[in-house]
Amino acid sequence: MFFGTSYILQQLFNGIVLGSIYALLALGMAIIYGILGLINFAHGALITMGAFCFYFIFSDLEWPFWITLLLAISFGGLIGYLLELIGYRKLRGSSGLSLLITSLGIYIFVENLAKLIVSPQPYAFNVPNFLNQIINFYITFRVIDLFIIAASIFIMSIFAIFIKKNKVGIAMRGISENVETAKLVGINVDQVIVWTFVVASSIAALTGFMWGAKYGQIGYDMGFMPGVIAFVAVVIGGIGSIPGSLVGGFLIGLIQTFVVSFLPTGWSIYRDAIVFTLLIIVLLIKPSGVLGRRESI
Amino acid sequence: MLLQTKNLEICYGKIPAVRNLTIGLEKGQIIALIGSNGAGKSTTLKGLAGVLTPSKGQVYYEEKEITKLPSNQRVPLGIALVPEGRQLFSTLTVKENLRLGAYHFGELEFNKRLEEIYELFPIIKERENQIAGTLSGGEQQMLAFGRAIISNPRLLLLDEPSLGLAPLIIKEVYRMIEKIKNTGITIILVEQNIEIAFEITNYIYVLEAGELSIQGSPSEIIKNNEIKKAYFG
């Protein structure tokens, strides 16, 4: 079997698009883990909520695209704030297991609520025409693909500056290292945790839009698999490490795309299974992940 | 009075580590809490800093009751703790540690305070972008002082600043404490090294099994036979 350069480049590009979405999700999961030691499975619910928020405002209310997108992102931030306030704050100091089970519970609750509200049928996800415009430039892609990559790079860059230069960002790193010292030096830990949830959840809501725009349809359970895959990305990259989670996200995006494109037809149904196999291999060979050294962001 | 405690009791679980403690200090003073291991010195400091919440009694700071106030709300009021073992954020840079010490300040005020700290501790400026965990013990202690002082405290709580440091470095650390005192900051010092404590403080409280046993000026305390026997042989 021979694959031409253009075909390989095409698949590489597709992998980067998918990897960008996973990397953004993994980034959110990693910062929440770093600060609370919580593997937030409820993160997947934000994908669904972000996508449906966009759908209802854009398709039903017919509001302008950019305003709708901003509202969907803000809605994610608001839900993240409420999740922390109602779901997790009372559990502060509890075992990691209690937090984990709570996050799973929240996910199941939201998924079922979504099923009740929006029906179990998938919805066609409309985006403005310019995003579906096809560009042929050695490889073929849509504007939405470029949008996903550009938005991801932009968010990652802003976030990198934020955690290095902004006092709340530095405090996130400080809290992830030692929450008691953080309190002692005068950091309002509750406020920083809320910000962490707001930032991570806003990004997750944006990925909900990206997912819908990329695949053209959304459903009540759409957040589950990307949420789990993002968790795998975090573990593969090195749990607690932000650069690691980004590497993990891109790696999985590329692997899933390559499985579908380069392996014989029929293998594509195993694309998730192959990711989990990779997880097992990484856990066996380097349990701390590719870039993981210690549990600190 | 800058700070006053009345019948303070601080517990770990149900076990009181400090009982019935009434102390006070005036602005500009430097006082020491001394006592053997487990006497309740560090616990008292943690109670004053808001890290531990007293189960009984009251803490007054500048005539206002702050007994139940958490530590992050005491720092903006002007109370800062330099904890035992320094407890720096070892994965953050020196400057980032200082930024977190001045968390309640905006960027402008932080930059202004940063210059003052660099003036007070020039060695910290040289290490500005170094990861705190890679500093030497003495440098780490300076950074711990800097991180507390950048919050603009009127009351500084120092928990065993000489712990784990070489004798030469200890001397340097105490020169720094004198320097800090000269800026007008009031200091409560917990120290195992009694000779140093006697040298630089105005007033001493001796704790024994969580309770106040003796208090007085260093010259009064040194006359006490029990203290002489316990600390000076």
Domain spans of chain A?
5-285
pTM score, two decimals? 0.89
Q: Residue A297's closest chain B neighbor by CA?
A: B91
CB nearest to B100's CB, from A170, A294, A296: A170
DSSP string over A143-201: HHHHHHHHHHHHHHHHHHHHHHHSHHHHHHHHHHH-HHHHHHTT--HHHHHHHHHHHHH
Query: What CA–CA distance (Å, rounded) separates A166 from B55?
Result: 37
Give the per-residue pLDDT at B22.
95
Residue A21 pLDDT class (50, 70, 90 cuts): very high
Q: Is the pLDDT of residue A2 over 70?
A: no
CA distance B183 to chain A (A): 20
Q: Residue A178's closest chain B neighbor by CA?
A: B89
Average pLDDT of chain A to the nearest whole number: 92
Residue A265 pLDDT class (50, 70, 90 cuts): confident
Q: Is the pLDDT of residue A295 over 50?
A: no
> If you count them, how many residues does chain B have?
233
Please choose, from the candidates B31, B74, B36, the residue with its C-alpha nearest in 3D space to the C-alpha of residue B53.
B74
CB nearest to A186's CB, from B72, B88, B110: B72
Residue A294 pLDDT class (50, 70, 90 cuts): low
**Three-state secondary structure of A36-99:** HCCCCCCHHHHHHHHHHHHHHHHHHCCCCHHHHHHHHHHHHHHHHHHHHHHHHHHHCCCCHHHH
CA A136 from centre of chain: 29
Give the per-residue pLDDT at B93.
97
CA distance B173 to chain A (A): 20
Tally of helices (H runs) and strands (E runs) in chain B: 10, 11
| B83 interaction partners in chain A (CB closer than 8 Å) | 181, 184
Query: What CA–CA distance (Å, rounded) separates A229 from A249?
Result: 8
CA distance A173 to chain B (A): 8
Q: Is the pLDDT of residue A36 over 90?
A: no
**Topology given in CATH for the domain delimited by B3-232:** Rossmann fold (3.40.50)
| Element of type H or E holding B83 | none
CB nearest to A174's CB, from B75, B92, B110: B92
Query: What CA–CA distance (Å, rounded) separates A66 from A231?
Result: 29
Mean pLDDT computed over A136-141: 91
What b/e sequence results for B67-78 when a residue is b if at least 16 CB atoms lie within 10 Å of its CB, and e otherwise? bebbbbebbebb
Residue A37 pLDDT class (50, 70, 90 cuts): confident
Q: Do A184 and B99 touch (CB under 8 A)?
A: no
Taking CA A133 as the corner, what is the angle to CA A129 and CA A138, rounded to the nearest 5 degrees?
170
CA distance B146 to chain A (A): 11
Q: How many CB atoms lie within 10 A of CB A124?
A: 10
What is the SS3 assignment for B56?
Answer: strand
Residues in a beta bridge with A82: none
Give the per-residue pLDDT at A218.
97
Query: What CA–CA distance (Å, rounded) separates B150 from B137?
Result: 20
pLDDT digits (tens, 9 = 90+) for A62-79: 999 999 999 999 999 999
pLDDT digits (tens, 9 = 90+) for B67-120: 999 999 999 999 999 999 999 999 999 999 999 999 999 999 999 999 999 999
Give me the phi and psi of B69, to 5 degrees please.
-70, 130
Query: What CA–CA distance (Å, rounded) separates A202 from A195?
Result: 10
Query: What CA–CA distance (Å, rounded) separates A187 from A180?
Result: 10
The residues, any chain, with a CB within 8 Å of residue B55's CB and separated by 6 or more, are: B9, B10, B11, B16
Give the per-residue pLDDT at A30.
93
| B77 interaction partners in chain A (CB closer than 8 Å) | none
Q: Which residue ranges of chain B lie beneath pLDDT 70? A: 227-233
What b/e sequence results for A197-211 when a residue is b if at least 16 CB atoms lie within 10 Å of its CB, and e otherwise? bbbbbbbbbbbbbbb
Give the ipTM of the model, two decimals please.
Answer: 0.90
The residues, any chain, with a CB within 8 Å of residue A179's CB and separated by 6 or more, are: A189
| B89 interaction partners in chain A (CB closer than 8 Å) | 173-174, 177-178, 181
Give the per-residue pLDDT at B233.
56
- Spatial contact of B51 and A187, defined as CB atoms under 8 Å apart: no
Q: Do A178 and B87 touch (CB under 8 A)?
A: yes
Q: The domain at A5-285 falls in which architecture? A: Orthogonal Bundle (1.10)
Residues in a beta bridge with B80: B156
Q: Do B100 and A180 touch (CB under 8 A)?
A: no
CB nearest to B100's CB, from A185, A294, A296: A185
- Spatial contact of A156 and A23, defined as CB atoms under 8 Å apart: yes
Query: What CA–CA distance (Å, rounded) separates A6 from A137?
Result: 10
Q: Do A167 and B89 touch (CB under 8 A)?
A: no
Structure tokens at A132: 């579906």
What is the SS3 assignment for B80?
Answer: strand
Give the per-residue pLDDT at B228.
66
